[in-house]
Amino acid sequence: INAVIFVIAFFMLSEFQRDDLYNWGASNQFFVLQQGEFHRLLTAMFLHGGIAHVVFNMLALYYIGQNVERFFGTLRFALIYFLGGLAGSVLSVLLNDAQTFSVGASGAVFAIVGAELVFLYQHRKLFGDMAKTQLRNLLFIAVLNLGVGFASNATTGGVAIDNWGHIGGLIGGLALAWF
């Protein structure tokens, strides 16, 4: 879905139409909380700011998502993805300022990471050293990505990464997988 929407937005729509799509679908505190445009909490998960943005999110989803879908099944995987991404959008809207517009699937991808962390932790005795190694790898990836996000927000200009969306997605994925 993410790839199809990206291709349509960047290769089939005019710049004016693409701007309208992002103006309508990006997550933003003012439009969600003040104007009641709650659809933005979901639509923002399917919009991306550029080719690198969508490629990195989809690569992470592909590599990490394969295990999570195998562990939880397709339906539960989809629920973790959508509800975890929604948790990321909600935290983003609540904790970012009104000037912040957010797009991307990374909150949902962080939910998938959180779900795999929980699964491996809960079954660490069964998986042995493989679980310990994978847990360390996933924690490293999450901390590295959050660090890059904090660094992007420390500089002025350029693209800012929505760490609140990442943290919300991670918390959502952890909670959904735990329960």
Q: What is the dihedral of CA 132, 55, 53, 60, to 10 degrees?
A: -10
Exposure of 101 in the CB half-sphere (CA atoms within 13 A): 12
Measured CA to CA, the distance from residue 79 to residue 174 in angstroms comes to 13
Whether 166 is a known active-site residue: answer: yes
Handedness of CA 125, 128, 134, 138 (dihedral sign): positive
- Catalytic: which of 53, 106, 123, 152? 106
Query: Cβ(104)–Cβ(48) under 8 Å?
Result: yes
| 106 in catalytic set | yes
Catalytic residues: 106, 166
